[in-house]
Amino acid sequence: MNTRPWIVDDDLWAPIEPLLPPWPERSPGPRPVPDRLCLQGILHVLHNDIAWQLLPLELGFGSGQTCWRRLEQWQQVDVFDQLHRILLAELNAAGQLDWSRACVDGSHIHANRGGSDTGPSPVDCRKTGSKHHLICDGRGTPLKVITTAANVNDVTQTLALVDNIPPVAGRPGQPRRRPEALLGDKGYDSNPNRDELRKRRILPVISRKGAPNIKGLGKLRYVVEQTFALLHQFKRLAVSWERRTELHDAFISLACGLNCWRRLKKHRS
């Protein structure tokens, strides 16, 4: 296991700190562990996929229970979703989002402890699992991830993914939340969904079952597989240990924000 501590540098801390709820000036009990250190502990768990109780105290992040509670508190006030939207807006302002197309796909993960939004996985001997449904822009920037049980068909989440793209500011005019086209494989083949996409002024580019694949579609869609690979480098996302979906989704939103932050940092360098 990689025990290298994750360091929250000033560039990453700057957009996060204003989003965190303040502590009461006269809260009972001992002085709480600083938010920045707790965030480093959360990132350590996200990156290394260790149990909360095994978070090394010598790293100075507080106990695993302390970091877990802070994760829960921050998720309740949408800290990580807000961070994701802020960084998407900065990418958009820098011209680093490709709205000409978006890509959708799904990826199965293990769910070793069961819990909500789990079910028999059709690709893993019917073992309990979950599924990540992802929509990203044409450059592979994650826009939205939805977690469902493993036996939920991709096609059922098409419109939910499109409709849950957050409004992305950063450019003059209204915040944007619609790509010009949506690319999907045969798992997303649905005439009703095509009609709904057209109503939203989105061109459906989705292969039909029983027909040859649309020429060149695979080359355009490879970015969604690349995005899944980058997200699942955070080992906590490749296996769901949280019995409550909202806590797993907190990790997902944080990982999406980190993905955007890395892209923004690369653009600025």
Dump pLDDT digits (tens) for 78-133. 999 999 999 999 999 999 999 999 999 999 888 766 666 777 777 666 677 889 99
pTM of this structure: 0.90
Question: 116 and 200 share a domain?
Answer: yes
Confidence of residue 52 (pLDDT cuts 50, 70, 90): confident
Question: 143 and 223 share a domain?
Answer: yes
Question: 170 and 204 share a domain?
Answer: yes
pLDDT of residue 2: 47
CB 58 within 8 A of CB 43: no
Q: Which residue has the higher pLDDT, 16 or 33?
A: 16
From CA 157, how far away is CA 149, in angstroms rounded? Answer: 12
208-233 tens-digit pLDDT: 887 777 777 777 788 999 999 999 99
Would 251 be classed as within a structural domain? no
Would 183 be classed as within a structural domain? yes
Q: How many domains would you assign to the chain?
A: 2
Measured CA to CA in angstroms, residue 191 lies from 194, 197, 214 at distances of: 5, 10, 16
Question: 189 and 234 share a domain?
Answer: yes
140-185 tens-digit pLDDT: 999 999 999 888 999 999 999 999 999 999 999 999 999 999 999 8
pLDDT of residue 1: 43
pLDDT of residue 5 exceeding 70, the answer is: no
Rg (the chain; Cα; Å)? 19
- CATH code for the domain in which residue 165 is found: 3.30.420.10
Nearest to 158 by CA among 135, 138, 181, 186: 135
Question: 40 and 140 share a domain?
Answer: no
User: What is the percent of the chain where pLDDT is above 90?
Assistant: 62
Would 45 be classed as within a structural domain? yes
User: What is the percent of the chain where pLDDT is above 70?
Assistant: 91
Question: 49 and 124 share a domain?
Answer: no
Would 187 be classed as within a structural domain? yes
From CA 49, how far away is CA 240, in angstroms rounded? Answer: 10
67-93 tens-digit pLDDT: 999 999 999 999 999 999 999 999 999
From CA 98, how far away is CA 81, in angstroms rounded? Answer: 20
Q: Which domain holds residue 35?
A: 10-20+31-76
Question: 121 and 212 share a domain?
Answer: yes
